[in-house]
Every structure is written in structure tokens, then in C-alpha cells.
Structure 1
Amino acid sequence: MKALVPTGDPAEPVVLADVPEPTPRADEALVRVEAFSVNRGETFKLEAPVDAERPGARPADRPGKDIAGLVVQPAADGSGPAGITRVVGHPMAGGWAEFAAVPTHALAVLPDGVSALQGAALPLAGLTALRLLRTAGPVLGRRVLLTGASGGVGHYVTELAAAAGAEVTAVTRDAERGARLTALGAAEIVHHPADARGPYDLVLESTGGAALPVALARLARRGTLIWFGQASRTPVTLDFFAFFDGPESAVIRHFHYLDADTALGDDLAALVRLTAEGRLHPEIGRVADWTDTATTLTDLRDRRIRGKAVLTLS
């Protein structure tokens, strides 16, 4: 089958190549991929050295976590969808290919009202947003500061939090992106954490570097900051005494979307249901054929795409 494999070249990070078709384990379904989305974190993974002898031959060596397609071979153990079924899936790797073996606990059925494009845009960003807000607890009536709001996670968090009754201030780089976040329910748009007025009951921080201490300073006394990313790729330095200027006794919590009590498939099904009901709107900033994946990855890495980028298999 054809699959996108890493090259180690930043200018053309992936190329189409022939690789073995995956052999599903007993608890995996074989999915014929119709569309997949890419994430900035996956562009970082592509910077790792490539094995010159077997570049991308094993699925674990190939990125690809967000897919939508058809189950063409149900799981041998009887779990998951039976027969040819439209699904959205979240494999840990190997999804940028014609076929992917996906654990049935990481699959959800796509109804007719949700397209493959919408489905492919849901998994990583949607799961992160849903589980992040679940970690934050009730947000009704709470003031929330969200940094790095321009990407797929930011759009989902904004819409879900606003619908749950939060007053969301979103940090985004430009007015165009801010207008869309306002349409999704953001109460205020700022272009730097320093412009946020505060104090906030909750800060959701995904930038790291110099931005995190600035956002932390806007937190209310005994408030909570949940750290769910480091898009700047720059370490954070905190000053113990700075907490006394406002966020005294604040809690800083690390978040990883896979550390959850619910199955991936259950949360994917919740995201699909919200989308089907018109209560969640995947923000797709680019749709292209998968032969354009290398260019799309470069544009995503350099922040030239708003929301999600979805590739379709011709």
C-alpha cells in the first residue's frame, strides 16, 4: 500500500512510498483511510533522525493519529464496529496511509450527518479540548484565559467552554482569527497574555516560554493554571515570589490528554454526537489531496494555517 513516510528533510518532511499493509491485532479493525488531519506536534516528531535502512517501514515510525474512513476488516475478537462502517479513529501512529490498523477502543462510528473531513478533524484536538475541560471541572460563571487559541484545540476549547457557561478570554495573534473565536463564543480577544485584564479563575496555557509566567500573573488567588502544551518550544522560568503579587497559593497542573479514565472511543463518540447536533464545529483551515501533505506540514509548522488541516486520499 501507499503511505507517507518521514524523510528527515525539513523542506519535504514526508514522501509517498510503498510499505507493507498493516496486520491488525485481535482487538484492532482495519480501516481504509478516506481523510486524515495533521497536528503541529507531529511536525516536531518528523524532526527526529530517520533510519536509513527502513525509513517509515514500520507503522510506529510513521506519524498519523487522526483518521476517518471505512472499516473493511472488523476486529477478530468481535469488539468494535462490525461490517463496513464509517468511523473516526485515533491510532497512535501510522494513520497517513491507505490503510490503518486501529484499536477498537479508539474508534467511533460516524453518522451520515458528519463528513469524513469533519471526522478527521476531531480526534487529537477534540479529545484534548474535551478532556482538558473535564480536568478543569465546572466552568459555569468562571473567567477563563486561554492562550494559543488559534489552533484546533483552541477553537474546540472556546466553543465547549463558552457553551458550558464560561467567560472566555482567548489569546490569538491577529484580528481575523479572533473574529472566528468570537463567533464560537469567546467574550474577549487579546493578542498577548499581557493584554488580558484578569483576574481569571482558570488559565489554560499551551504556549510555555515567556508567555506562561505572564498568563500566571493574571490568575486569581488560589486559582488554577493547567499547562497543556509548549508551542513555543521554550522552557519556562518561574519566580516563587511573583506569586505574592496576585496568584497566591495558585495551583499549576500538568495535563496530558491520554491520562484519562474514559476510553478514547467513548470520548470520540461524544465529539461526533456534538458535531452531528450542530453544537461543535470543527474548524478546518485547509483541505488538500494527500499528495500535498509535505507542503501542508511545512505551512502548519510555520503557523500559516488556522484551525485544522485535513488531507484526503484520492
Structure 2
Amino acid sequence: MKAFVPTGTPAAVGPTVRQAAVAEPVQRADQALIKVEAYSVNRGETFVLERPPADWRPGKDVAGLVVQAAPDGSGPAVGRRVVAHPPAAGWAEYVAVPTGALAPLPDRVSAVQAAALPLAGLTALRLLRTAARHTGHLAGRRILLTGASGGVGHYVTELAAAAGARLTVVTASAERGARLRELGAAEVVHQVADATGPFDLVLESTGGTALPLALARLAPRGLLLWFGQASRQPVELNFFDILSGPVSATIRQFSYADVDEPDGADLATLVRLTAEGRLHPELGTVRDWAETPQVLDELRERRIRGNAVLTVA
């Protein structure tokens, strides 16, 4: 079968992936074999491709058709459309996925929409769930979201607004800011320094100089969830500033993968919300999968807002 594999070439020199012939997946007992119809490319995957692990192939967000059911009898039957979140190797014609990491798709959710859900949607859903555990609820809470231009920012905005939170988003793009306001953001600013707190919660994905500025805008006993490093710049914190800042503030690192249960239930929630018209995958570009190398370059250069989805002919 055909799949995209890392070239090991720096992006500044040439393409970081190439299409190649690889062996078809061998199913484990708890894995369904999926014929991939569409997959989403995440900016974080562009970072991994700079120094790819040995024998690793990219691809964590896919949608397609079950062509072989799991040998142990778990999961959907042959012929069922699904969205899946494999650990890797999804940029291919076929991928084997644990049945706990997929969810069936209704007819009214397309493969292209579904492929945009897993990584960004799971991150947003679990981020807000973690925040709600700290505050008790989100209704009426003031939330600051940095780095809001991407897929996670889109889903956080929709989900937080639906939960009754008052959300301030940080995005450098006026066009993107207008879209986030349509989705429910109460306030749009173009840099963290322009945000007026205090905020009960800060969802921080930029790192660098943004994190200390965001931390200073927390309310007493507020929570900062650090879930990304989009700036790729190290964070420097002055602990004297923290001592004179918000009283009893909490800083917590967040990983969407730090859960005890499989992904399938949360994927099913994202699919249900999409089917009901309560969640709207933001498709920044939809292209044939032959254009994957070009799309990766555009993601690195921040020329795509929202999700980048590739369709497999």
C-alpha cells in the first residue's frame, strides 16, 4: 500500500515526507483495519517530522471505512464508517486502530469533517473538563485562551461558550478573531498584554513570554493550564513576580493523552455534537493527499487557519 514516510530532511532543505510503498498493517486482536478516506495534519506533527523517531510514520487523525473487523469481536463491523485516533501511521491507504480509539460516524457527518475532530477536539474537550474540575463549573467563569488561531482554539471557543463561560481569546489574525467572536468569544485581543483580567482560568498554549504575562492576569486561586509551546521559545518565570502576583495561583501542565479511559467515548461525544450542529469543524484547507508535503510547509508558515484535511483517493 501507499503511505507517507519521513524523509529525515530539514524543512528548510526539502520535503519532510514522501509517498512510498509500505507493508499493509497486521492487525492485533483488538484492532480494526480502516481504509482511510481522509486525515488531518496537525502543526505538532510538523515538529516531530524535524527529528522523526526510527520506524515511525505520522498520522493520528483519520476517518474512513472498516474493511476488517477486530479479530476479538470488539468494535464496529465491516462496512461501518468511523473516525479514529491511532497512535501513528494514519497518513496511509490503510491503518490498524485499537477499537477503543474509534467511534462510528452517522451519515450526516462527512469523513472530511470527522478527520478534523480527534487531536484538536480531544484536547479541547479534556482541557475544559480539567478546568471544570478546578472551578466546579464553567458557567460565568472568565477564561483567557492564548494561541487561539488553530483547531484547538476553535473547539475550545465553541465548547466554552456553550458552557456559559466568558472567553477572551488571543490571536494575531483579525480575520480569525472575527470568526472566534462568531463562535462565542466574548473578547478578542491580539496579544496577551492587551487582555484585561483577572481571569479564573488561563489556557496557555504559546509559551515563551506569553506565559508569565498570562499568569499575571489570573484571579486569586486561579488556574493556569499549560498545554502547548507554539512559540517554541523557553519560558522564564521570575518567582518574585509569582509571589507578588495572584494569591495561591496554580500552574499545571496538561496533556490530552493523560487519561485513564480509551479515546472512543470522547470521540463519540465530538461526533454527536457535530451531528447535532453544536460543534463545527473548521476546515482551513481540504486537499488531495498527494499535496501533503505542501500542506506541511503551509502549516509551518502559519498560512492555514483551522484544520488541514487531506483526502485519500
> So what's the TM-score if we normalise by structure 2?
0.96
CA distance in 2 between partners of 1:203 and 1:262 (Å): 25
Aligned position for 1:34: 37
CA distance in 1 between partners of 2:85 and 2:24 (Å): 18
Q: Secondary structure at the match of 2:292?
A: helix
1:121-132 paired onto structure 2 within 5 Å: 121-132=116-127
Letter in 1 for 2:305: R
Q: Secondary structure at the match of 2:168?
A: strand
Letter in 2 for 1:92: P
CA distance in 2 between partners of 1:115 and 1:261 (Å): 29
Aligned position for 2:72: 77
Letter in 1 for 2:299: L
Contact (CA 8 Å) 1:220, 1:246: kept in 2 or not?
no
Aligned counterpart for 2:101 among listed residues 106, 111, 118:
106
Contact (CA 8 Å) 1:286, 1:308: kept in 2 or not?
yes
Aligned counterpart for 2:27 among listed residues 24, 28, 37:
24
Aligned position for 2:259: 260
Contact (CA 8 Å) 2:283, 2:309: kept in 1 or not?
yes
Can you list the C-alpha shifts for 1:14-63, whole angstroms capped at 9, x where unaligned?
Answer: 11100000001000000000000000110011011576xxxxxx4xx101
Shift of 1:260: 1.6
Aligned position for 2:129: 134
Aligned position for 1:298: 297
Aligned position for 2:188: 189
CA distance in 2 between partners of 1:169 and 1:203 (Å): 10
Aligned position for 1:198: 197
CA distance in 2 between partners of 1:115 and 1:215 (Å): 37
Count of matched residue pairs: 306
1:116-195 paired onto structure 2 within 5 Å: 116-137=111-132, 138-195=137-194
Q: Secondary structure at the match of 1:186?
A: coil
Q: Secondary structure at the match of 2:156?
A: helix
Shift of 1:253: 0.7
> So what's the TM-score if we normalise by structure 1?
0.96
Aligned position for 1:55: none
**Pair 1:7–1:50, CA change in 2 (3 A):** farther
**Gaps in structure 2 of 5+ consecutive residues:** none
Can you list the C-alpha shifts for 1:262-284, whole angstroms capped at 9, x where unaligned?
Answer: 32000000000000000000011
1:226-305 paired onto structure 2 within 5 Å: 226-305=225-304
CA distance in 2 between partners of 1:84 and 1:177 (Å): 38
Aligned counterpart for 1:62 among listed residues 50, 54, 57:
57
After the TM superposition, list the runs of 4 or more consecutive aligned residues in structure 1 that deviate by more than 4 angstroms: none
Shift of 1:232: 1.1
Contact (CA 8 Å) 2:112, 2:309: kept in 1 or not?
yes
Letter in 2 for 1:37: S
Aligned position for 1:4: 4
Contact (CA 8 Å) 2:6, 2:52: kept in 1 or not?
no
Letter in 2 for 1:267: D
Q: Secondary structure at the match of 2:29?
A: coil
Contact (CA 8 Å) 1:38, 1:309: kept in 2 or not?
yes
CA distance in 1 between partners of 2:27 and 2:199 (Å): 47
Q: Secondary structure at the match of 2:63?
A: strand
Q: Secondary structure at the match of 2:302?
A: coil
Residue 94 (str. 1) matches residue 97 (str. 2): no
**Pair 1:49–1:280, CA change in 2 (3 A):** closer
Shift of 1:8: 1.8
Aligned position for 1:54: none
CA distance in 2 between partners of 1:146 and 1:40 (Å): 18
Q: Secondary structure at the match of 2:273?
A: helix
Shift of 1:301: 1.3
- Aligned-pair identity in percent equals 70
Contact (CA 8 Å) 1:8, 1:50: kept in 2 or not?
no
Contact (CA 8 Å) 1:36, 1:310: kept in 2 or not?
yes
**Gaps in structure 1 of 5+ consecutive residues:** 52-57
Q: Secondary structure at the match of 1:253?
A: strand
